[in-house]
Amino acid sequence: MAKLNGHGHKQVKRICCIGAGYVGGPTCAVIANKAPHIHVDVVDLNEKRISAWKSDHLPIYEPGLVEMTVLPRDGSPDRPPNLFFTTDVKASITKADLIFLCVATPTKYTGIGSGRAADLVYIESATRMIAEAATSDKIVVEKSTVPCKTAASIREILSAVGKPDVHFDILSNPEFLAEGTAIRNLEQPDRLLIGSLTTDRGLRAAASLVDVYAEWVPRERIVTMHLWSSEMAKLAANALLAQRISSINALSAICESTGADIDEVAYAVGLDKRIGPKMLKSSVGFGGSCFRKDVLNLVYIAQTLHLPEVATYWEQVVEMNEYQKQRFSKRIVSCLYTTLTDKRVALLGFAYKKDTGDTRESAAISIVNSLVAEKADVRIYDPKVDADAIWMELQWTSPNFADTQKRVTVCKTAYEACEDAHAAVIATEWDEFNNKDTEVHIREVNGLAVIGRSPSSYSTGSGMQFSNGTLETSPAPKNGHRVIGTASAADGGHLQDGLSMTPTPTSPTITKQRARGLSMYDNSGINGSNADENLKPWMGSQPASPQATTHTAKPTHGSKNPRLDWAKVASVMQKPMFVFDGRNVVDAVKLEDLGFRVESIGKPGGLRGE
């Protein structure tokens, strides 16, 4: 790790962030909120987006973002505003001490490296603008995900285009945010990486950025390293996270054919400390703007370095993700008697994961296109994605958009989408679709941790289980309980609240969508998972009893929408009724009691007990 020279570095008083999207907006809102003495400008060429940031209706949905933004943006009687949104890019660059590059780095879809290489056109454009506008020394910080050694290209452009007496120091400071938990990730990061050259100027520049984050982040969580290592670390992190998701999804296919339950398998595997419970939630695949793009970028880098075996290895991560989506769509067709012609199918969720309105590379896109190809009547509902965003995605990815327009309807409620439907497909794990118990009881019986519903309900034959550290309902054995693990006095019988990864897949279409009228400074998006969320204990330490001690734990739910009344849904759907759970968020037994047939990822199909 690079050692910083603590003397003589510049104090950052003004920041300019180029890019008012999913990374730039939240990042600067938190910086401005936590460091009221720093003037923060967020700039973008998209006037509509900037106007939205100035309004009561922010251009992106992120829990906690409004609260984090309003105080520094609007100010208060005892605090002047220090967060500003503007289209005057040149003026903001001129006045800034430090400039964040938060622009898009989509996959190229034409030319050399098409379908794999990162398109750095927006990086270059922003860099040239910095060089032309800067009249004093600047620290330029890459936050966008870029190929290793991109900083060298940035430095070359700045040196060639910039004024002779202006010096630029380049840093890498990749984001490790997850949509849906971005504000929490920014307030309490696992780590912050700052990469610099090991020259005196490079280390002083890094120290200046460290001081900005040290306003609220413990210094031991701020890691400094070489510039190239920091750039590579971001790509490596996303590739490894995507690999883990594809690995559990590959196992889910085997589970469906053998009768094993992927949630139980994932829980058992996650108990191994070498593996851990995170990112082991099977689904229809990963989505968002990062994973697919960054893995394919890594594939291209390996190819250009003449490492074909390495390229093939990482390419399989994306291939498995596409296979998972196709497999799920084929399962829908197979269960509905091999024909969907004019059958109504409700698609519940269109965002690539819950607690965000982002639809980029969402699994729902692939599912809709597959259903339309089968001539189904598709009804879409998502609580946070408006109709315009849905139609934009479908327009850019549909093989026959005219046919899609005829067969797809965007609904305002889940009940409207499900009316007269033959099937409901859960594509996003919004909490309102979840019908699982909000309370779970953890019992210690003769040293064993037994997790189930309230003890009085054991005779119903249904139980609760932990999956990847998350709570899942599943059928219980006839004796009324399921033995999950061992509770010991050493750990107080602690069980940890883990993360439900909830990704969502990608559309095979290479990201042409970045040309869809978004600003050139629309950032590349934040990670498609809440992988950085810390595990927290469910229970405090309590003495283990050789008899039975009951603890109650309440899972948290991020959605403010009321839960779906599945009994009401059952009353309006066609018979037989199918639920295809692409996120494993429903209690299959409870739905089957209502007359549904439930097909879940990584679990054998058909009615339980068949």
Query: Beta strand pairing status for 577-581 and 596-600?
Result: parallel
Residue 440: beta bridge partners? 553
* Amino acid letter, 288: G
Distance of alpha carbon 227 from alpha carbon 1, whole angstroms? 11
Enclosing H/E stretch for 478: none
CA nearest to 205, candidates 9, 14, 2:
9
What value, to the nearest 5°, has the Cα angle with vertex 61 and ends 86 and 321? 115
For residue 49, say whether it is annotated as part of any ligand binding site: yes
Instruction: Determine whether 290 is an active site residue.
Output: yes
Backbone angles phi, psi at 457, to 5 degrees: -100, 5
Among 148, 290, 411, 418, the one annotated catalytic: 290
- Cα distance between residue 291 and residue 201, in whole Å: 34
- Side chain identity at residue 267, one-letter code: Y
Helical axes 150-161 vs 227-258, angle rounded to 10°: 140
Report whether 102 belongs to an annotated binding site: no
Burial call 463-474: b when 16+ CB within 10 Å, e when fewer? bbbbbbbbbbbb
User: For residue 135, how many other CB atoms are within 10 A of its CB?
Assistant: 12
Task: Confirm whether residue 145 is marked as ligand binding.
Answer: yes
Does 205 count as an annotated binding residue?
Answer: no
d(CA 262, CA 254): 9
Report the alpha-carbon distance of residue 53 to residue 79 in Å, rounded. Answer: 20
- One DSSP character per residue, 200-267 reads HHHHHHHHHHHHHHTTTS-GGGEEEEEHHHHHHHHHHHHHHHHHHHHHHHHHHHHHHHHT--HHHHHH
463 Cβ contact list (under 8 Å, min separation 6): 451, 452, 453, 473, 474, 475, 476, 480, 481, 482
Cis preceding-peptide flag for 399 (omega within 30 of 0): no
105 labelled binding-site residue: yes
Tokens, residue 301: 């880098």
**16 annotated to a ligand binding site:** no
Per the annotation, does 144 bind a ligand?
yes
Residue 344, beta-bridge partner list: 377
- C-beta of residue 1 within 8 angstroms of C-beta of residue 225: yes
The answer to whether 21 is a known ligand-binding residue is yes
Report whether 104 belongs to an annotated binding site: yes
**Where does 119-174 have alpha helices with state H?**
121-133, 150-161
19 is an annotated ligand-binding site residue? yes
147 closest CA partner among 236, 75, 210: 236
293 annotated to a ligand binding site:
yes
Annotated binding residue 44: yes
* Residue 318 assigned ligand-binding role: no
516 labelled binding-site residue: no
Q: From CA 366, how far away is CA 374, in angstroms rounded?
A: 13
Rounded Cα–Cα distance for residues 279 and 573 (Å): 34
- Residue 292, annotated ligand binder? yes
Structure tokens at 564: 């779906």
Q: How many CB atoms lie within 10 A of CB 438?
A: 12
How far is the CA of 572 from the CAs of 383, 421, 505, 579, in angstroms?
20, 8, 30, 14
Ligand-binding site membership of 115 (annotated): no
Amino acid at site 583: R
List the binding residues for NAD(+): 19-24, 44, 49, 103-107, 144-145, 179, 290-293, 360
As annotated, the active-site residues are 290
List the binding residues: 19-24, 44, 49, 103-107, 144-145, 179, 290-293, 360
